Amino acid sequence: MADTCGQVLLGSGLTVLSHPLMYIKVLVQVGHEPLPPSLGRNMFGRQVYQLPGLFAYAKHIAKVDGKAGLFNGLAPRLCAGTIGTIVHSRVLQKCQDGDINVTGDQKPEDGSLLHVVNETTKEMIARSCATIVTHPFHVITLRCMVQFIGRETKYSGAFDSILTVYREEGILGFFAGLIPRLLGDVLSLWICNLLAHLVNTYAIDDSMSHTGEIKNCSQAVTGFFASILTYPFVLVSNIMAVNNCGLAGGLPPYASVYPTWVDCWRHLNTEGNMSRGNSLFFRKLPAGKTYAIDQKRFF
């Protein structure tokens, strides 16, 4: 219990600190570009026209809504983080107590591939349960953020937002964008753990000094690599969570109305926008797109 409380407090602190970053990323993901391109330098020092980065975007939001505006949607996100941490911890403990072993009755040897598969399966179950339970708060968080585009106040509080979603979309509205989010989480987890196992087994010699630190580093690197590969699932999930919900950011011209998340994926892929919002630094202009200053977007 004490460990769970510590995780909740730590997670809440990190959530507060990282919230402006997520806020800006979500607005970029749906296509909102309130500032025109400017002449700057890329990472190689060459002069190029590029889109405003994280700090310029944050400064713009603070100018419009004040510094407190950078924390729109924080309350439901904190709720999601707290509930998710508790659910994840409880489910994972149940999996451990139940001694789930997907490899059979024989307990796999520590460090073996079967052991990795077994532990990853338990973590997958725990993460998936936490994601499903907290997704309604995730949807509300995203919609509170996207209101910035049309200056709406439709989602003003956690309780009122719950009533709004239920009244307009029913129960299914709370789970908009859930499938690609789950798929992305599961794929990212398996890619990360299996790649880390391969690196630790075949590329790192146990006789090397600081083996533990090196293995931890390899886990972080493979996690970063997995997040890049599965980013399109995150993008599609977030777009579908706000799509056709009555907010300007979920309707044309920012987004088409997509019947399913597969249609959204296909449309983004056709336009070459599968990595939109992945980076908030050194943002290059979209190829073949024209900036519309009145609509604050590219078309």
Kindly give, in sequence order, each residue whose CB lies less than 8 Å from that of residue 183, ignoring residues fewer than 6 positions away.
233
Express each pLDDT in 74-108 by its tens digit: 999 999 999 999 999 999 998 887 666 665 556 77
- Dmax (CA) for the chain in angstroms is 65
Express each pLDDT in 213-266 by its tens digit: 777 788 888 999 999 999 999 999 999 999 999 999 999 887 899 999 999 999
| Residue 39 bridge partners (DSSP) | 49
| Residue carrying structure tokens 């992305």 | 184
Checking phi first, is residue 17 left (phi over 0); if not, alpha (psi -120 to 50) or beta?
alpha
**Contact predicate 138/80, CB 8 Å:** yes
Structure tokens at 233: 């699932």
Binning pLDDT at 50, 70 and 90, where does residue 205 land? low
Kindly give, in sequence order, each residue whose CB lies less than 8 Å from that of residue 132, ignoring residues fewer than 6 positions away.
175, 178, 182
- Residue 294: the pLDDT is 79
Binning pLDDT at 50, 70 and 90, where does residue 129 land? very high
Look over the chain and give the mean of its residue pLDDT values, rounded to a whole number. 89
- Distance between CA atoms of 74 and 142, rounded to whole angstroms? 10
**Contact predicate 144/161, CB 8 Å:** yes
Query: Taking the model in full, what pTM does it have?
Result: 0.92
